[in-house]
Structure 1
Amino acid sequence: METLEASALCFPQLLNTSCTKLKLPHFEGMLIYILLSSISMLTVTLNLLVIISISHFKQLHTPTNLLCLSLAVSDFFMGFLMFFQIMLIDGCWYLGDLMCALYQYIAYIITSTSVGNMVLISIDRYVAICHPLHYSTKVTQKRVQVCVSLCWMCSVIFQSLILKDIWKPHRYTSCFGECIFVINYFAGLADLIFSFIVPITVIIVLYMRVFVVAVSQARAMRSHIAAVTHQQPVKVTTKKSEMKAARTLGVVVLLFLLCLCPYYGVAVTGQDNLLSASSAAFVICLFYFNSCLNPVIYALFYPWFRKSIKLIVTLKILQPDSCDASIL
């Protein structure tokens, strides 16, 4: 009986102070482990390919791709953080208080930076579509570099203020093997507003504006073609293009909301203690899965990305002057 009870503890040698492992069915535990491991590996691999592609090939050194590079870097680190999340499947943390604090601190910073990068990308696309004549003068390589640097620095400073008490050991843990951090109400509210509500609002407003402009441009083009050719079938093509634009923008916003809303919803309501282990794991998987989707949404659909993957996989990037290869 004592052996059975000891096996249910994170640290069996500490019978009175050790945390208890989460009781997950074997099949559920294995499924969650495989799912998280797969997402983690896919996230790291895809974002690493984006990082190598944009960094290596000179043709890809554009302001927009620099934003994609910053997003890929933050999502790359998010993929690595998932390996630590895998350790918490059974509810036990074995790396000590310092690593627990460091893990949570980096996770907050990377999450905040990733959301900030998505806001910068939405601004970039807004200017490119709504103000195309001024894009080359407003969005320059140097300005984008400054914006990306500010995004990372502001995330570090803001999260350092929010998590100023995270380095105090054993303040929030009730037993050995627990890795939690509780922020006060005002800090949590500030994090919710500036890390979720404000970015979500900016992204939705900008994408809706982009959609309206794209539709109006498509209709103007339809009218112009109809006036020149006097052919009615053009309307079908225009409707298809409008629907395609609606679906693309809708998918970008919807997937972002679907991945982040459950996590922040739980954080806002404070009902995480009411979730079962499997439900909590699903919310976390969905949250991390957004970092896997970002390179797919923002890079995988570009032809240059598929071409650069072939050059990377075949090791042709190791050849002299490969950075000058024609990718676009």
Structure 2
Amino acid sequence: RDISSETELCFPQLNTSCVKPKRPLSDTVLIYMILSFISLLTVALNLLVIISISHFKQLHTPTNSLILSLAVSDFFVGFLLFFQSMFIDGCWYIGDLMCVLYCCIDYITISSSVGNMILISTDRYVAICDPLHYSIRVTQKRVQVCVCLCWIWSLFYCIVFLKDNLKQPGQYNSCVGECVIIFNKSERVADVILIFILPITVIVVLYMRVFVVAVSQARAMRSHITTVTVQGSRKVTAKKSELKAARTLGVVVGVFIICFCPYYCVSLADQETLFNASSAAFVLCLFYFNSCLNPLIYASFYPWFRKCTKVIVTLQILKSGSSDTNIL
């Protein structure tokens, strides 16, 4: 039997076209369905977070501004998964320039997610460890400036790392229909240090400090719960809400570390030997699935998110004055 007759090209009309890898149709359909489901769910859930925090005035707080920024980056990750589905049959159909732009947006969203995690951890650190000065140090304007700087840094990071690819898109492609971005060993190491090791170290150190202080505050509240005045009870309630926010965002950070660890550990190693089809799919799915999990965590821990979702889904948000709705 002639093997060449069974070969399927990405672009049959071109002799320089890449060859489609052979994969059972059932596997292709299953992977496509899973990716499409994760993508749609990620986009929909993060869009709910973005609309909720942007629309309802009660949610215009410094902490929620950071959650909003994280939701924006997660939304773009979900959107990029639509393009990731193109790789299922091993072909890239929309050109070399779109390949570089796709990778650039991917880098921007990932690095901004990491930056947002650092800002969230810092916010909780100040709120729990220095509550008396929190409202002075962490203002809405300062948070907005920090968020803008985070996204500017992400754009700068993308331009620096992809400058050669941006100058000449498709220079590493061996055939038409590939989307290849190559980094040397030193660039991969720098990427892992800047986007994973250093941020994770900062985040873990801050949250260890937050955890120690939160435990001591919880004990103090339990021991003095019977001797509080009305003003004191308000302070206790405020402290409880801060502790709950710290716990919720701590879960977000923990999930983030679990999802990002395998990807960056593998990127430091030899990809040729460690990446077979199944392990690559698992690592990448786990990496991208983090963006879908964040709003699910908010839904589990934050009653305001569930209330906002109900108002949005039932279209009550279209009523005049809906932005003043009491959802806390």
TM-score, with structure 1 as normaliser: 0.88
Shift of 1:273: 5.6
| Partner SS for 1:24 | coil
Shift of 1:139: 0.5
1:25-65 deviation digits (Å, cap 9, x = unpaired) = 33322222111111100100000001101111111111111
Question: Matched residues, percent identical?
Answer: 68
Equivalent-residue separation in structure 2 for 1:204 and 1:311 (angstroms): 36
Aligned to 1:115: 114
Contact 2:125 2:209 in 1 (8 A): yes
Aligned to 1:323: 323
Change (3 A) 1:308 1:223: closer
Aligned to 1:208: 208
Equivalent-residue separation in structure 1 for 2:245 and 2:61 (angstroms): 24
The number of aligned residues is 311
Aligned to 2:174: 174
Contact 1:272 1:280 in 2 (8 A): no
Q: 275-284 vs 103-112, which deviates more?
A: 275-284
Aligned to 2:69: 70
| Partner SS for 1:119 | helix
| Partner SS for 1:88 | helix
1:154-208 deviation digits (Å, cap 9, x = unpaired) = 1101221111111213321111111110123333222211111111111111111
Shift of 1:325: 1.1
Runs of 5+ unmatched residues, structure 2: 229-243
1:69-114 deviation digits (Å, cap 9, x = unpaired) = 1111111011000000011112210111011011001101111001
Contact 1:68 1:298 in 2 (8 A): no
Equivalent-residue separation in structure 2 for 1:155 and 1:98 (angstroms): 20
Aligned to 1:84: 83
* Pairing 1:293-304 to 2, within 5 Å after superposition: 293-298=293-298, 300-304=300-304
Contact 1:211 1:245 in 2 (8 A): no
Equivalent-residue separation in structure 1 for 2:27 and 2:278 (angstroms): 7
Matched, 1:5 2:6: yes
Aligned to 2:151: 152
Contact 1:40 1:83 in 2 (8 A): yes
Equivalent-residue separation in structure 2 for 1:205 and 1:77 (angstroms): 29
Matched, 1:221 2:217: no
Contact 1:54 1:69 in 2 (8 A): yes
Equivalent-residue separation in structure 2 for 1:219 and 1:327 (angstroms): 30
TM-score, with structure 2 as normaliser: 0.88
Contact 1:21 1:91 in 2 (8 A): yes
Equivalent-residue separation in structure 2 for 1:256 and 1:194 (angstroms): 16
* Pairing 1:1-328 to 2, within 5 Å after superposition: 1=2, 4-7=5-8, 9-15=9-15, 17-167=16-166, 168-224=168-224, 251-272=251-272, 274-298=274-298, 300-328=300-328
Aligned to 1:233: none
Q: In structure 1, what residue type is equivalent to 2:315?
A: L
Q: 246-255 vs 72-81, which deviates more?
A: 246-255
Shift of 1:132: 1.1
Q: What's the C-alpha RMSD, in Å, of the aligned pairs?
A: 2.3
Shift of 1:226: 9.4
Change (3 A) 1:4 1:130: farther
Q: 76-85 vs 269-278, which deviates more?
A: 269-278
Equivalent-residue separation in structure 2 for 1:274 and 1:202 (angstroms): 29
Contact 1:55 1:61 in 2 (8 A): yes
Shift of 1:297: 2.5
Aligned to 1:236: none
Runs of 5+ unmatched residues, structure 1: 229-243
1:196-238 deviation digits (Å, cap 9, x = unpaired) = 111111111111111111112223334446999xxxxxxxxxx
| Partner SS for 2:13 | coil
Q: In structure 1, what residue type is equivalent to 2:92?
A: W
Contact 2:248 2:298 in 1 (8 A): no
Contact 2:124 2:246 in 1 (8 A): no
Equivalent-residue separation in structure 2 for 1:105 and 1:294 (angstroms): 23
Contact 2:170 2:180 in 1 (8 A): no
Shift of 1:6: 3.7
| Partner SS for 1:182 | coil
| Partner SS for 1:293 | helix
| Partner SS for 1:158 | helix
Change (3 A) 1:311 1:298: closer
Q: In structure 2, what residue type is equivalent to 1:259?
A: C
Q: In structure 2, what residue type is equivalent to 1:257?
A: I
Q: 41-50 vs 178-187, which deviates more?
A: 178-187
Equivalent-residue separation in structure 2 for 1:83 and 1:4 (angstroms): 31
